[in-house]
Amino acid sequence: MKVRLVMGKIARWCLVLGLLAGGMSLHAQDEDDFEEMSEDTACVPANLQTAYDAYKTDDLAPNQLDIWYDYGREPHKIARYENKPEKYRQAIPYFWKVIVNDDTGRFKIVYGKLVECYLGLNEPDSALIVAYRGLAKYPDYITLHYHAGIIQKTLGKVKCAIPHYEALVNSNPDDKSTLLNYLTNLAQLYYAAEDERCLEVQRRVIDLDPENVEAASLLVRMTEFFGGDAMEAMEDAYNTDPTNIQNARRFGRAAYEAGEYDKAIQAYTSVLEQDPANTEALRYIARSYEGKEQFANALKNYKAVLDLEAEDLNVMCSIASVYART
């Protein structure tokens, strides 16, 4: 049992490393819940104030925000579309002037653009300050949840990333691939945090992508880790793609041990269809027929093992045992 738990933890942290290695392309979670989780896990930077707050003024010309926005938008566009990240630096002060002076929400989009500037300059700490300042004013703003989730995930703060991906999922995007992406990563984050909600989310992943063999296999590992009966998950994984030898072997062995001999025979027959010389499959098929007291079929498969491994003493003993019972 201890070995299984240790291996489960290793598997989960391998998953975390996988999350850190790649980026990902929110009706948001309740704001109070979000703030509570952030405080408990130190997700929000301790100080959201910056030197740019000095730009705050009550004496603005009617179109001054538009002017600053245009001054920032041009270098931002060059940096983004012409691959000149140094241009982001020119946009930053103008975007800050806009957000510290915009009390109407008309320039909410600037928070996302400013986050992009800092990320383009590889300054994630500054990007987080902007993201959480924006979320304090606009807690349902999907773009900021998206950025904050990626940053926290990349920093290895799994629990800090979770509420942002919950918000992304709850936004229920129309694009199936986008929703699938959010669900996939939320399930993996829950699993890495040892949160049993990963099971429900992973089932949604499989519902959206029923041909995804790896997703089905992950659900099996999740189920086993949380002490559940993995048989149903194994069967679902097998049915998703009967040609996947690993899933067929896992389900076949579990079915045999549970006394589900017909299911074991079916699964291991699928293995033989892909690998006719697989002696493990032949052994379990023989044992399953023996369990069903179909001794002729048992002998046939035991002898098939000997055709491949003539010196297998265990199989010879099994054959002798079958003859003794007939």
Sequence-ordered strand ranges (E) for 33-139: none
Using CA atoms in the order 235, 236, 241, 246, what is the torsion angle rounded to 10 degrees?
-50
pLDDT tens string, the chain, 326 residues long: the values are: 443 444 455 445 445 445 444 443 333 333 344 444 433 458 999 999 999 999 999 999 999 999 999 999 999 999 999 999 999 999 999 999 999 999 999 999 999 999 999 999 999 999 999 999 999 999 999 999 999 999 999 999 999 999 999 999 999 899 999 999 999 999 999 999 999 999 999 989 988 987 787 888 899 899 989 998 888 888 988 998 899 998 899 899 989 988 999 999 999 999 999 999 999 999 999 999 999 999 999 999 999 999 999 999 999 999 999 999 98
pTM value is 0.72
Superfamily (CATH H level) for 242-326: Tetratricopeptide repeat domain (1.25.40.10)
What are the residue boundaries of the structural domains of the chain, listed by start? 242-326
Task: Give the pLDDT score at 228.
Answer: 86
Q: What is the 3-state secondary structure (H, E, C) of 256-320?
A: HHCCCHHHHHHHHHHHHHHCCCCHHHHHHHHHHHHHCCCHHHHHHHHHHHHHHCCCCHHHHHHHH
**Which residue type sits at 64?**
Q
What pLDDT was estimated at residue 11? 47
Two structure tokens written together for 188 = 């993996």
CA–CA separation, 95 and 98 (whole Å): 5
Whole-number CA gyration radius for the chain:
28
